C-alpha cells in the first residue's frame, strides 16, 4: 500500500520536474499561427479525484505554429473575432526536450 502511494508521488514529482525543465530558460518567440479550425468540445464528464464533474461545452482553436499542431483555448472575446483558415500573430514557447508548444499571447501582441 505505501509502496504504491510513494510510487505515485514519485511519478508526479518526476512529471513536474520534466515540465519545469522543458520550458525553463526558453525564450518567448514571436511568429505567426495558422488557425486550422475552430472546434466545439461537447459537454462531458471528467473525474476530479473520486468525484465526477460535468464540464460545459467550450470552443477551442487548432493552431499550427512552426509546423507543430497545438490546441489553444483563448478568452471568449478573442475567440469570437477569430476565423478558421487565417494567419494571426502569436507569442509562444517551444519546449526544449519534447518540442511542445505553449502559447503565451495570441492575436493581440
Give 19's contacts (C-beta < 8 A, 6+ positions apart): none
Residue 1, pLDDT above cutoff 80: no
Mean pLDDT value across residues 8-29? 90
Confirm if 52 and 46 have CB atoms less than 8 A apart: yes
- Strand, coil or helix: what is 15? helix
How much is the pTM? 0.72
pLDDT tens-digit map of 34-90: 999 999 999 999 998 889 999 999 999 999 998 889 999 988 888 889 888 999 999
Amino acid at each position: 500500500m505505501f509502496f504504491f502511494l510513494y510510487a505515485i508521488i514519485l511519478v508526479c514529482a518526476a512529471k513536474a520536474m520534466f515540465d519545469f525543465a522543458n520550458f525553463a530558460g526558453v525564450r518567448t518567440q514571436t511568429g505567426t499561427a495558422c488557425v486550422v479550425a475552430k472546434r466545439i468540445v461537447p459537454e462531458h464528464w471528467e473525474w476530479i479525484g473520486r468525484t465526477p464533474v460535468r464540464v460545459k461545452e467550450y470552443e477551442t482553436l487548432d493552431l499550427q505554429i512552426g509546423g507543430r499542431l497545438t490546441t489553444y483555448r483563448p478568452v471568449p472575446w478573442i475567440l469570437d473575432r477569430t476565423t478558421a483558415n487565417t494567419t494571426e500573430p502569436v507569442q509562444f514557447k517551444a519546449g526544449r526536450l519534447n518540442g511542445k508548444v505553449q502559447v503565451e499571447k495570441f492575436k493581440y501582441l
